[in-house]
């Protein structure tokens, strides 16, 4: 059963090569977030590991795990103990030779509600994810948690309005985006870095506006090889107003209160869902219209 007001916790951390250390650090921050009243707590993308996709190598496959499995069981126990919802971004081993970039959702009573597999997989310098991850095949999903109806999309999904729209159309009130994004320390000048960050924030705020939902983006910090992650996790309301933003370099857990009852207000004043011309949208299913 959802409620009017919900507090979000966004866990922004740096990572090391020690997966257990990263897990313990994240669990500690989840506990602190719960102490501050957070009810839905989201990790950054692939929070247990370094962002290994900067290169193509076989060793990182050993880091993958079953979902549900040992670590989701551990987080489910934590969720039940604290009475919070946990959104955990993990490296999933589905079968031998078949892997996904996946987020698991654990309800406040410890129930495993299901998972979302990242649909859009990048393949760019420093982000060689197609080497590791099979595109998701579960579609866009909504999870009805104790505190709100939430959708989870992952990093590169951030740039696709179709993903946000299809999730919102299923009733999501909050879109969570676990993320690992940053600047190249060898290639990008200051102006390019500023433009990249602004584009990242703008596209996600546009999803909030176009769909009348809250958006929560959770990014990592720190430098790993040639990538310096830019942090700045944030929550935006359905008018795209930034309610809170984390720092560029500091490990922190952002606590943000969202009044879900305001979704009606925003959608009444900007009735984008009402005015959609759905009968004219079928061409969107084409790769390109010649």
Residue 161 sits at the vertex; the CA angle it makes with 230 and 141, to the nearest 5 degrees, is 95
Q: Which of 123, 158, 152 is nearest to 139 (CA)?
A: 152
45 annotated active-site: yes
Q: Are 232 and 248 in contact (CB under 8 A)?
A: yes
Catalytic residue (one of 15, 45, 93, 205): 45
Q: Are 167 and 151 in contact (CB under 8 A)?
A: yes
146 annotated active-site: no
Catalytic residue (one of 93, 155, 224, 258): 155
Crossing angle (nearest 10°) for helices 190-211 and 161-168:
30
42 annotated active-site: no
Q: Are 274 and 211 in contact (CB under 8 A)?
A: no
Question: How far, in Å, CA of 25 to CA of 220, rounded?
Answer: 13
Q: Determine the longest span between alpha carbons in the chain, in angstroms.
A: 56
59-66: which pairs have CB atoms within 8 A and are 24 or more residues apart? 60/91, 60/132, 61/93, 61/99, 61/132, 63/19, 63/91, 64/91, 64/92, 64/93, 64/99, 65/90, 65/91, 65/92, 65/93, 66/92, 66/93
Please, what sign has the CA dihedral across residues 247, 158, 29, 18?
A: negative
Question: How far, in Å, CA of 98 to CA of 75, rounded?
Answer: 23
Catalytic residue (one of 7, 118, 141, 228): 118
Residues acting as catalytic residues: 45, 118, 155
């Amino acid at each position: 059963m959802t409620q009017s007001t919900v507090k979000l916790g966004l866990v922004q951390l740096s990572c090391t090569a020690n997966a257990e250390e990263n897990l313990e650090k994240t669990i500690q921050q989840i506990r602190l977030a719960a102490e501050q009243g957070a009810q839905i707590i989201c990790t950054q993308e692939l929070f247990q590991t370094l962002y290994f996709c900067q290169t193509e190598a076989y060793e990182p496959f050993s880091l993958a795990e079953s979902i549900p499995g040992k670590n989701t069981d551990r987080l489910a126990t934590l969720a039940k103990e604290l009475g919070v919802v946990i959104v955990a971004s993990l490296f999933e081993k589905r079968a031998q030779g078949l892997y996904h970039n996946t987020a698991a959702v654990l309800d406040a009573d410890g129930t495993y509600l299901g998972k979302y597999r990242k649909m859009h997989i990048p393949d760019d310098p420093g982000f060689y994810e197609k080497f590791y991850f099979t595109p998701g095949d579960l579609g866009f999903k909504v999870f009805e948690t104790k505190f709100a109806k939430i959708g989870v999309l992952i990093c590169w999904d951030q740039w696709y309005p179709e993903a946000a729209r299809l999730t919102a159309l299923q009733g999501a009130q909050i879109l969570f985006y676990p993320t690992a994004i940053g600047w190249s320390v060898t290639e990008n000048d200051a102006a390019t870095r500023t433009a990249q960050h602004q584009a990242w924030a703008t596209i996600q705020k546009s999803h909030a506006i176009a769909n009348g939902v809250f958006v929560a983006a959770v990014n990592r910090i720190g430098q790993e090889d040639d990538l310096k992650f830019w942090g700045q996790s944030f929550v935006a309301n359905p008018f795209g107003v930034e309610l809170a933003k984390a720092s560029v370099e500091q490990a922190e857990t952002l606590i943000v209160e969202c009044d879900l009852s305001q979704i009606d207000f925003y959608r009444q004043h900007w009735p984008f869902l009402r005015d959609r011309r759905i009968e004219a949208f079928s061409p969107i299913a084409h790769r390109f219209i010649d």
